[in-house]
Structure 1
Amino acid sequence: MRIGYSVETVRAAERALMARLPEGALMQRAAAGLAAACADLLGRVYGRRVVLLVGSGDNGGDALYAGARLARRGAGVAAVLLAPDRAHPGGLAALRRAGGSVVRTGAAEAAIDRADLVVDGIVGIGGKGGLRPEAAPLAERAARSRAAVVAVDLPSGVEADSGEVLGEAVRADLTVTFGTYKPGLLIDPAREHAGTVRLVDIGLGPELPDEPELEVLQHTDVAGLLPLPTAESDKYRRGVVGVAAGSARYPGAAVLAVAGALRGGAGAVRYVGPARREVIARFPETLVSDQGPRKAGRVQAWVVGPGAGDDAATVAEVLETDVPVLIDADGLRLADRDAVRARTAPTLMTPHAGEAAALLGTTREEVEGSRLSSVRELAARYRATVLLKGSTTLVADPDGGPVRVNPTGTPWLATAGSGDVLSGLAGSLLAAGLTARDAGSVAAYLHGLAGRLAARGAPVGAHEVAEAVPEAWRDVRGRTGE
């Protein structure tokens, strides 16, 4: 599992570690890791041209010391000092001793044009509000140049704690971060500025608290959460998920939600709604009913809302049950907030940015620009676990704790019906006994991986994503049998 911590937490851990180390040792560790990453990216160091964009903080010092190491290996290293009077004196002296030079700001753009590598050491993780006017043109020039751009700890101009981008920011090909991941490296829109992220261990781990701000599941974590049948399992012990979805206008939403549910680990799927004929024609193993949720039979979880149109009565009926409920799509619009807040069984809401904006009374652009604060606010407001879909899918619990970030998504999943498959998949995991947080996280992981496997670089339909879920499941478990 990858984890991320806030700036305040990282700063506190750094202070605690530095108190036990010789002066400057922590910066030297960071510089050594940065220089090694730059050398790997360059392939051959000798004779290469490197430009350092150096601000006044510790990131500038890291860049200068790393530049000195590259210069000693034969690179031509030039530093552009954006705050000459406040550049790190030790790092600057080391660079000059190693044969590096300082370039006047007026000549910086020409130096960038000739460079093989540009190192962004402009602003550290405490920077706010985008790049300053004197730095923004240099970042833009680097982005347009042939040079690879390496960011020190975090691309300058992005918000470390939130993943927001509130102004001009560096776009890196590689970000070398120290000690731990920061939220801005994991959450869009900042994440897309970071490029590939390389974590350098500087000994910070023992100083960090047990509970991080963010968690990113990996294959091993997901494999440990997957519900697996035992010798004593039957379809009821494995869990039964109810799906209340679809309408005369949107029968396909019901079919796709059932498709996801059938592949999510539960033993059986019960369907109620007006798309019974379409569902049973596509999936004859589904248990269908025309009596509504109360008379559909026993279930361990409900999925309600995909393609439901204006069927508020069914949504309300499902919310009154005492089993876990997933609310998606039209269900989010139709659900009474007080009814959701009053529930004692787990509730998982799965909005995309537009739906989240409507629930929060804001705009889609604001949600997409501040995903982390939006998912936390929505979870707190509805007292529900919230899975916020998008280029970065986030899962937040109402009582706080680490927010889960899904790493497996692909832009090919931006296709009609994909969210219906995700809802069915997550609902099935709820019925199989996972918590709302784990069900949402595992479903997002499998769904994203299935999207990649189904697409393989080409357009893909939602039904193909559903069909690829078993392959994703096997990929996570690292086996093809059993």
Structure 2
Amino acid sequence: MKNSQMIDKNSKYVVSAAEMKRCDEATISEFGVPQDVLMERAALSICKYVKKALPEGGKVLILAGSGNNGGDGIAAARLLYQDKIDVTLVLVNHSISDKASSTKRSKACSNQLKIALSYGIDVVDFDSATLSTQIKKSDVIVDAMLGIGCTRDLSGDYMSAVWEINYSREDYDGKFPHVIAADIPTGINTDTGQVHGNAIRADETVTFGFLKMGLVFYPGAAHAGEIHIVNVGITEDGFLGDFPKFKYVDIPEKNEIPRKLLPPRNPAGNKGSFGKVLIAAGSRKISGACIMASESCIRSGAGMVKVFTEEANLSAIQTLLPEAMTEVYREDGMEPRNSEDFKKNTENLLKSIEWADAIVCGPGLGKGNSGIQIMRIILKNAKIPLILDADALNIISENKEIRELVVEYEADIIMTPHLAEFSRLAGRDIHDCRACIMDETARLAKEFHASIICKDARSVISDGTGNYINISGNDGMATAGSGDVLAGLLGALVLSGYSNVLEAAVVGAYLHGVAGDMAAVKNGRQGMTARDISGSLREIFSGNIG
């Protein structure tokens, strides 16, 4: 992986089920940490959040499966019992009385159950007919049924338990127990976040060691509630140098973002030294995209911005964004048959390319001949960082020559497709792309020799070697112009002094999401606009984050 110093210092691993199991096993076998110690610490972590949610004199109901996740739940039941808390332990998919159940249980789970029974804890076998009654009597429910072991659709006792917990709440007149999932809600695929038939809807999830993929990607993220990542003694040493494929950036103290994620600016710098960005965007019918991209670029630290756009947009840019320079063309003047106009427009674009330190191309550009000609001129003549967004990506998908020019481009590229654009670039159905978004992003990044931000509810960023998932942002950002704001932001960031273009892409996606989160607080998710996001960038860069 390239040396991405700033993001490496401020990122953490997000793991698959196999990566987590491998780290867990190495912690035990290579470092000698007993499994019982890890389980005890996991149980203590569960108890911590149970006690926070439990009213005085309240009752806890713990549903425990037959694996190590169930062992965590059983150990938590014992610890709560020892603290004089009223707790009932329900065994799901195994039984106290059935001897055959002992073969289902993991060794650690069996040990914990034996201890719990020795203490006289209230342990009962699962019975769907009585679970509803037990739920009504409880204030907190702990889901410790499957953890990261769910790989197929739920059935039997697991399905019945999940159904009772999720749907019996309709009978409680608005009062329903607080649900805490141990590691990951039962029914969620740890690697994809997909729901296997049904899944626990938790208020909180206490996950052990590292964030799980299934807690990041939707719909799993929507089932997790508030996520707490707790240290139970499993550290990255357990990967034995073979580290997880994906990381994510997260700065809990948002006012620390400028110091941790933004390179220092030169106090002796000037508007030229802070970078000149050319925005090739907008068309006769679409003016807003070039304005939003340009405004975002200016707010994100670019010293100078020039907009190369259709002349119909000139008045709007001059009125709404007087800080931006402009160079205009007429769409019919980009036809080679209009030789004089085409020559003049080409010369103007070439001069703008020579002036610029980075280029943003695509927002509102259109897929017609003028857009294709602009992309052809840029790709054949520019040798500076290039951000390709929106219609630029659609042209690449449809035009073999342009696609080949992108592959052959000699400087750094960031491509920012949303999932529909991504599917067209990949030549795959959009639903197939969502299922393989991580691998396919890396594949396309290698094809184009680019850093790609595949924008979705959870964006995936890859340059083919380094891989990140962005966890900032919210559904209010699904609004027209949001992607234009990101493109402009990236245009400024690639000139800000990051160690490589992947670092700028990862930070850009994260800051864009943080700005969206801030805009949602101020304006509400339903009513926020792309320019609200752009406005929040000013506060981020100033460090004025509430």
TM-score > 0.5 by shorter chain: yes
The superposition leaves residues 229-268 of structure 1 with CA deviations (integer Å, 9 ceiling, x where unpaired) of: 3232111211111100000111111111111111111211
Decide whether the 8 Å contact of 2:94 with 2:125 is kept in 1: no
**Structure 2: stretches of 5+ with no match in the other structure:** 1-10, 96-100, 170-175, 329-344, 397-401
Q: Does 1:92 align with 2:110?
A: no
Mean CA deviation greater in 19-28 or 301-310: 19-28
How far 1:95 moved relative to its partner? Answer: 2.7
Q: Which residue of 2 aligns with 1:380?
A: 446
The 3 A distance-change label for structure 1 pair 451 and 50 is: same
Decide whether the 8 Å contact of 2:493 with 2:504 is kept in 1: yes
Q: How does 1:270-289 map to 2 (within 5 A)?
A: 270-274=306-310, 275-289=313-327
The 3 A distance-change label for structure 1 pair 232 and 104 is: closer
How far 1:342 moved relative to its partner? Answer: 2.0
Q: Does 1:4 align with 2:14?
A: yes
Mean CA deviation greater in 225-234 or 321-330: 225-234
Task: Give SS of 1:191's match.
Answer: helix
For 2:223, which of 175, 184, 193 is the aligned residue? 193
How far 1:58 moved relative to its partner? Answer: 0.5
Q: Which residue of 2 aligns with 1:323?
A: 384
The superposition leaves residues 435-458 of structure 1 with CA deviations (integer Å, 9 ceiling, x where unpaired) of: 332222222232222223334252
Q: Which amino acid aligns with 2:161?
A: L
The superposition leaves residues 344-403 of structure 1 with CA deviations (integer Å, 9 ceiling, x where unpaired) of: 3111111112211222233334444554344334323433211122221222222x2231
How far 1:98 moved relative to its partner? Answer: 4.3
For 2:363, which of 306, 327, 350 is the aligned residue? 306
Decide whether the 8 Å contact of 2:59 with 2:85 is kept in 1: no
Q: Does 1:59 align with 2:63?
A: no
Rounded to whole Å, the distance in 2 between the matches of 1:413 and 1:109 is 39
The superposition leaves residues 178-218 of structure 1 with CA deviations (integer Å, 9 ceiling, x where unpaired) of: 11222222232322221111122122223245644222232
The superposition leaves residues 19-78 of structure 1 with CA deviations (integer Å, 9 ceiling, x where unpaired) of: 31345222111111112222222243x4x3322222221001111111121223221313
Decide whether the 8 Å contact of 1:269 with 1:286 is kept in 2: yes
Task: Give SS of 2:355's match.
Answer: coil
Decide whether the 8 Å contact of 2:290 with 2:364 is kept in 1: yes
Decide whether the 8 Å contact of 1:51 with 1:119 is kept in 2: yes
For 2:140, which of 95, 117, 136 is the aligned residue? 117
Task: Give SS of 2:63's match.
Answer: strand
Rounded to whole Å, the distance in 1 between the matches of 2:156 and 2:123 is 24
Rounded to whole Å, the distance in 2 between the matches of 1:177 and 1:371 is 24
Q: Which residue of 1 aligns with 2:164?
A: 141
TM-score (norm 1): 0.91
The 3 A distance-change label for structure 1 pair 124 and 410 is: closer
Q: Does 1:36 align with 2:48?
A: yes
Task: Give SS of 1:24's match.
Answer: helix
The superposition leaves residues 160-188 of structure 1 with CA deviations (integer Å, 9 ceiling, x where unpaired) of: 23333353222211111111222222232
The superposition leaves residues 61-108 of structure 1 with CA deviations (integer Å, 9 ceiling, x where unpaired) of: 111111121223221313132233024222222333242221332323
TM-score (norm 2): 0.81
State the structure with more CA Rg: 2
Q: Which residue of 1 aligns with 2:336?
A: none
The 3 A distance-change label for structure 1 pair 140 and 216 is: farther
Q: Which amino acid aligns with 2:420?
A: G
Decide whether the 8 Å contact of 1:118 with 1:147 is kept in 2: yes
- The count of residues paired between Structure 1 and Structure 2 equals 474
Q: Which residue of 1 aligns with 2:250?
A: 217
Task: Give SS of 2:513's match.
Answer: helix
Q: Which residue of 2 aligns with 1:362?
A: 428
User: Could you tell me the percent identity over the aligned residues?
Assistant: 29
For 2:538, which of 454, 460, 470 is the aligned residue? 470
Higher helix share: 2
Decide whether the 8 Å contact of 1:351 with 1:388 is kept in 2: yes
Rounded to whole Å, the distance in 2 between the matches of 1:224 and 1:317 is 38
How far 1:224 moved relative to its partner? Answer: 3.0
Q: Does 1:413 align with 2:413?
A: no
Task: Give SS of 2:148's match.
Answer: coil
Decide whether the 8 Å contact of 1:52 with 1:63 is kept in 2: yes
